[in-house]
Structure 1
Amino acid sequence: MPPTGTSSEWDWAWVDVAVPRVPGRLPGAGLPGVSMAGFGSRVPIEGDIAMVAHPSVTLIIDLSDGDGIAYRSGDRRERGSAVIGLMPGDLRAGGRIGACLQIRLEPVAAAALLGAPAELTGSVVPLEDVWGRDARLAEERLRAAPSWDERFAVATEMVARRMRARPPVDPEVAHIWRRTLAHPERVRVEALAAEVGWSRKRLWSRFRSQLGISPKRAARLVRFDRAARLLAAGLPAARVAAQTGYADQPHLHREVRTFTGLTPAGVAEAPWLAIDDVAWPSSSPALALTASA
């Protein structure tokens, strides 16, 4: 879930983005569905950042000096590291932002790492509420690391260790998620259920209980994410609708409005995907489109 600049004070020009040197190996080897990026501002930034729905659970580990990131969790205003669940709605964070590590977890990876993802859906909670004492230890180790390369290595080791300690999701659920991620426009619950030998009711129940979202909602979220990135890359709405499997342009308009409150034209002009192609290149439809042009 990318941070988005929504105030006049927020300027990505002041932010340095770090990614693992070998995408797909660090942190990819042995950690499918996990990606990382580091963000560091050259000057502390005061600003309001909107968080937009994304098909992943996001850990934000605050490495700032001083007060750090501020956000709202239910009726409370919190500071520091956080876990952002799927579909958090209108979520805004701010504060004096210096450096942070973001770890994106596809729902299958999030379930293996965090457990009970359904409890995180639609919410943002302090990392300490999920990881307990390990959250503070993680922050301390990451702050002590002298480079982003070493921070990525530390984070990879921590994530891998926690994943080994928890049972994975059902292989049938993992298979259905992979199919959804690859072809969200083709998701048909009955067909997927038959594919894994489950009833429709069982598929729906197990998928939702383990990933925190229904199969159809997951497909809508993945398709919206691709459409939003292509709109931000400058493609016209009609072409985006056709390429991402919407029935027509009004259908795209309705879905974009549902997920963002904006029109497709508003998404195309919004700055909230401005650095995604740098921070998360392996999942960028815009870069894939450029490469195939």
Structure 2
Amino acid sequence: MANSLSDRSSGGHQAPKNKKYQMKREALEQVIDKHISNIEKHSKKLPGTFDKEDIHDLRVNYKKVRAFLRLLQLEKDAGDLHISDKLKSLYHHCGTVRDWQLFLEELHDVGIVDQLPDCMHRWHRQVFTYKEQTVHAIETTHFKKLLHGIIKELPRQLQEDTVKQFMHQKIAAIHILLLAAENEKDLHSIRKQIKDIIYCIRIFKSDWGIPFPFRGWKSEKELNEMASSLGDFNDQCLAISLLQPSYICKCDYKEQHILRNLQINWLHQKEARQRQLLYEVQELHVEHAF
């Protein structure tokens, strides 16, 4: 039984158990339009302020579009569904600014900023350059054009069997990663698979007002908490990467010494957290339960 967005979204009712989901093209277009529009809205608010929440919301909407396209690519009549290089560039520029904002905040939190006048001056100048690059990326991104480019490649519908196939692929990928997970790269890869699942669940619930048709985990809360923990760990790894010699070598010797000690301390914390997360992901209950 085919259901359009208007048929299914009012009231958030569950689908009859013996009838299959089939979201029509109009419903698919509305999801893409909504989240591309949100990216554009937040990008226009960035110049001048670069508010952390705007950067975060822009990147979340981008990730929702990316996860949704990965799902739709599995439909037989889907065209060349991809995100344009311009939008990718904007996303990555925003990510660079975000990484540095979080890093500098962390330095404030550990209380060593006053001991790093030379480095802080250099880093603030560097962040200003990253912000200029981001503004340029915003100005050269034609949102209507890239929206049209995605919509014209959409399949006629999204079928329940396609969602099922998507879930099988994601859960299989997680299980394969868990077989030999041993470092931060593996944890990051597992997080990406989990986040694709979570973003698609949220699209079903928030955009269409209907429950996600499959459940391959014991607890959705557990799934969200794991993704959040892995995200915090990823931020921790990024902060450590910004203490590499290429970023601090131009600072004076005294400041380099302070930062190297901080790096050693953070590395110890990271190693302990990595061991804990490698244990916790093995306990994550995801399975082919559909």
Question: Structure 1 or 2: larger helix share?
Answer: 2
TM-score by length of 1: 0.29
Which of the pair has the greater relative contact order for Cα pairs under 8 Å at 6+ separation? 2
